[in-house]
Amino acid sequence: MEKLIIQGGKKLKGKVDINGFKNAAVAILPATVLAGDTCVIENLPCISDVNILSQILGNLGATIEKRDVNTLQINTKSIDSCFVDYEMAKDLRASYYFLGAALARFKKARVIYPGGCHIGSRPIDQHIKGFEALGAQVEIEHGIISVEAERLIGAEIYMDVVSVGATINVMMAATMAEGVTIIENAAKEPHVVDVANFLNCMGSKIRGAGTDTIKIQGVDKMKGCQHAVIPDQIEAGTYMIAAAATGGDVIVNNVIPKHLEAVTAKLREMGVKITEEGDALHVVASHPLKNVNIKTLVYPGFPTDLQQPMSSLLTVAKGTGIVTETIFEGRFKHVDELKRMGANMKVEGRVAVVEGVEGLMGAKVAASDLRAGAALVVAGLIAEGETEIENVHYIKRGYDRIYEKLQNLGAEIRKID
């Protein structure tokens, strides 16, 4: 069992290069099934979710060539059906994207019910609503989701809940439907736009991605293409928060500043100096910082994926901070671990009240999910003494070479088996 050991109290200094966005990559890889041709996907992060998805594509019959550490060449011509079983994808949420892609190409797909981080109930009713609106029959038996359609006919679909996954999945399913599909109340996250750009590069006709109304004109066939994944704004935001948490001076490179506006605004409100330098953000902080209120919202609001790392920063900011998690009802599992490190926090339902303390103390803690793991890394960087973090496999799902990157920034961090 791998563990992370951090000696806290070191200011982070230097430059960190941000990789491609996990949540875009985990949709784009299944989307290559639509091409039935060769796609080259660049700027992929080296994370376990990407490795698992490329294994699944291989198991389905795709031929995959690793062009370089961040580039895969994927030919899905020889895939003729799609069954993603438990062994392949039990820990992976994004396996459900194979449903939309295979339904569009084969009019049939079977995928195990999605796994992923335990941050709430995470239903998939909106995915199912979209598939059924297009004419598919959906069944869930023995933990397997089966979708099948004689024909897929374009439809008007109103999403009851703004859902990134459902928006992307239904968008993929509609690419080769007959006629026009309109998705109303669609998610507007940057990775929804990135996936739409990739689908259009393969020949689909999608307009409006990034707004709450997406229009998809069905096409007969798709083809292979080359696409570079957008930078990971959640990875970038995590390093910005870590820089602020250690009173450091860090250049976060390879970002799209616009995608980080909510995080930048909140950190500035705390007294962190952030300047935009091309496709980099320069973060300079000195303690003490001022506490703030955080409310997670769909894009362009404050991202739920940074609520946990941000909570760690608030534990040592002056005053009281109120954290309201409006997206996932179970996303405060990191709080108990932070309290073991001396944080003064209280959770009532979807709200956590944080009273800033002088400092945190190193302790043995365990990650419960990917971003809780990131929160514990930030807390370990802040804490006096040694912090030992268990369940590091969660962190490796979404952060490419996090220890090396933090070591390069001056953190005293190492991995032990």
* Residues with catalytic function: 117
Strands 144-148 and 63-68: unpaired
Indicate the residue among 94 and 250 with the shorter CB distance to ligand EPZ: 94
Q: Residues 161-190: x/- map of binding to ligand EPZ (CB under 6 A)? A: x-xxxx--------------------x-x-
**Contact call for residue 305 and ligand EPZ (CB under 6 A):** yes
**Other CB atoms closer than 10 Å to residue 87's CB: what's the count?**
8
Binding residues for ligand EPZ, total number by CB under 6 A: 28
Quote the tokens at residue 218.
């069905």
**Contact call for residue 112 and ligand EPZ (CB under 6 A):** no
User: Looking at residue 32, what DSSP letter applies?
Assistant: G
Segment lying near ligand EPZ (by CB under 6 A), choices 1-9, 18-26, 174-182, 312-320: 18-26
Q: How many residues does the chain have?
A: 417
Q: Provide the sign of the torsion angle of the four alpha carbons 35, 38, 43, 47, taken in this order.
A: positive
**Contact call for residue 304 and ligand EPZ (CB under 6 A):** yes
Indicate the residue among 94 and 345 with the shorter CB distance to ligand EPZ: 94
Indicate the residue among 120 and 143 with the shorter CB distance to ligand EPZ: 120
The identity of residue 253, as a single letter, is N
Quote the tokens at residue 306.
């940074």
Distance of CA 357 to the CA centre of its chain: 30
Indicate the residue among 223 and 295 with the shorter CB distance to ligand EPZ: 295
Minimum CB separation of residue 318 from ligand EPZ in Å reads 29
Contact 222, 240 (CB under 8 A): no
Segment lying near ligand EPZ (by CB under 6 A), choices 123-131, 135-143, 254-262, 344-352: 123-131
**Contact call for residue 398 and ligand EPZ (CB under 6 A):** yes
Closest CA to 368 of 348, 345, 395: 395
Closest CA to 23 of 307, 321, 232: 232
Residues in touch with ligand EPZ (CB under 6 A): 22-23, 26, 93-94, 117, 120-127, 161, 163-166, 187, 189, 304-305, 327-328, 370-371, 398
